[in-house]
Structure 1
């Protein structure tokens, strides 16, 4: 089964906004409005769904969230679906989605990270549709650092094109901005130097494979189920092998170590030519650091493991396309990710 890439967006196309996990609190609507204006400034139309309530841990009952997401993903007029952000329990939607209908539908881009990986990664693994693991809607007003792309760049890229990103070598040490008091913030202060690090050994890396991955804390719950069958995806859709990426949102190193061991035993890293690990603020557990946790669980794979990649909860964001043919280059003085949408 070849991966299917949605058509590139054109001015006038419609983008749907819904919250498959957590909605938007009333005191955050200023940021939501600012993000919508940013999308519209690129020439797109925006349709906001009804599942947006932020007063609880989810935006609506599971059946309602699933129905709205299905409606957007199968409506040929909607060319991309971009949730405001992640949340906690998008997993309850998976058995309610009509996967046969998703396979038959005209493919639609879906964008997000964190708990949204619970949906976009299965969309690639189960339905064979390329998805974008990148900045969420609420992050969209930020100006993109030089060398990186926004999700808006990715979904508008011509079919078959190769996207090249080179990290800026700096990241933001502080946590997220306070959107309640600064809804229009658009500047990322990258105040701390930091490059990719090879954890498994020394030497240059130049490796290719189909990209797939996401947030450890959410995807660990899908491994061993039909929604997290990376090994099956590799056999069916990635004869060239995989580049698997993972990132820890907030769990301590002991929990991440356990999760990664379980994912490895369930086949999540089968056929990996390399593993990318997102930069994280998640804490150590005693003497066990986050990097040590990764090596404990994955060091035996015998493939390059590159950490501190900009694909996690630490700004800036380097969008990754699940299903794209990736090439990762890491040397003493250069980091680069290439993604071909074919």
Structure 2
């Protein structure tokens, strides 16, 4: 069985940096995000790792893990939201006390997704792939991003529906501050390989493909055991998003996932938008998706609201999802069962 945390009104939010911390000149962004959350009735508690960054990490691996372990076990903290992702979260996995994890939400994406997936695979505790703390600093959030609160407040046994966004952000404009943080200008269109419409169901698992591929072959990436122990061998519906890989590297990674058994009993695969899908010798990302479809003969959906091209839907690792896509529009119904 999957264990679903629950976000209560007035919850305490622990802010720790298990990957990258925040440089001095960006501390105001963290403080503003915390202020926004405090205004909404939450209490934010920032750990020491948030305020430091040196050699691509907030602190040595053991210190980052210790702070995370303390927050996840602390009864005074209800949910954990890192400031953002980074590069080297993988270093802390061996130092995390997985046997002592309390069922509380961890929310984030990018490098944080390796922690999210490892926690769900090893413990059966649902984790939340969605906005990071820094991007909650606006006066308000777009409708898609704002759903993080409703999703995390959904009771076990209940369901939550999210729709594809109307617009997405083509590029970051860090020097152009706005009440909504994101600058949404481009029309969203969810796409499907070889079909005009699709409906697919399964247990959600996924994250940033650059990062979670490093769980393959480790004790933290045992998908087969997860299916057996926690979801009664139900099919997996994968969601993946690309931060930095070119098309041939994505292809190599997907083949490795397939050979490792990650796509066994898979009902479908969804890919987030990316501006980094650089072709290699005219081998495009559409070619990658077509090759995957030809091999697996399962629904392949792409350009969904997930990842580094915001906004993004809040996707729950472990939740049972029903996804529908037609005419460029999509819906994801997540059931906390």
TM-score bracket, shorter-length normalisation? over 0.9
Residue 71 of structure 2 is aligned to residue 72 of structure 1 = yes
**Alignment partners' CA distance in 1, 2:328 and 2:16:** 41
State yes or no: 1:126 paired with 2:125.
no
**Is contact 1:90-1:116 (8 Å) kept?**
yes
Q: Where does residue 96 of structure 1 map in the other structure? A: 95
Which residue of structure 2 lines up, in the alignment, with residue 167 of structure 1?
164
Aligned length: 333
For 1:183 and 1:64, the matched residues in 2 are separated by 34
CA contact (8 A) 2:144 2:313 kept: no
For residue 109 of structure 1, what is the aligned residue in structure 2? 105
In 1, Cα distance between equivalents of 2:74 and 2:117: 20
Q: CA deviation at 1:41?
A: 1.8
Structure 1, unmatched stretches of 5+, are none
Q: Deviation string for 1:215-248 (max 9, x for gaps)?
A: 1110111112121122322232233311111111
Aligned CA RMSD, in angstroms, stands at 1.8
Tell me, yes or no, if structure 1 residue 209 matches structure 2 residue 207. no
Pairwise CA distance, 1:40: 1.0
**Structure 2 length-normalised TM:** 0.93
Determine if the alignment matches structure 1 residue 246 to structure 2 residue 240: yes
2:287 to 288, 292, 296: 292
Q: Which residue of structure 2 lines up, in the alignment, with residue 233 of structure 1?
A: 226
In 1, are the aligned partners of 2:7 and 2:149 still within 8 Å (CA)? no
Structure-2 residue corresponding to 1:43: 41
Structure 1 stretches of at least 4 aligned residues deviating more than 6 Å after TM superposition:
none
Alpha-carbon distance between aligned partners in 1 of 2:144 and 2:68, rounded to the nearest angstrom: 32
Instruction: Provide structure 2 residue ranges, at least 5 long, that are not aligned to the other structure.
Output: none
* Cα displacement (A) at 1:183: 6.4
For the residue of structure 1 that corresponds to 2:115, the secondary structure is helix
Contact 1:217 1:249 in 2 (8 A): yes
**Aligned partners of 2:34, 2:78: CA distance in 1, in Å?**
15
Q: 2:155 maps to what in 1?
A: 158
Instruction: Report if aligned partners of 1:149, 1:318 keep a CA contact under 8 Å in 2.
Output: no
| Distance in 2 separating the partners of 1:95 and 1:330 | 39
Q: Distance in 2 between matches of 1:184 and 1:79?
A: 30
- Range that drifts further, 30-39 or 305-314: 30-39
Counterpart for residue 86 of structure 2: 87
Asked if structure 2 preserves the Cα contact closer than 8 Å seen for 1:278 and 1:307, the reply is yes
Once residues 314 and 153 of structure 1 are traced to their aligned partners in structure 2, the CA distance between those partners, rounded to angstroms, is 22
Does the 8 A contact of 2:190 with 2:328 survive in 1? Answer: no
2:302 maps to 307
C-alpha distance after superposition, 1:59-108 (max 9, x if no partner): 01100000000111111221100001100010011111112122xx3x11
1:93–1:148 CA distance, 2 compared to 1 (3 A): closer
**Contact (CA 8 Å) 2:129, 2:316: kept in 1 or not?**
yes
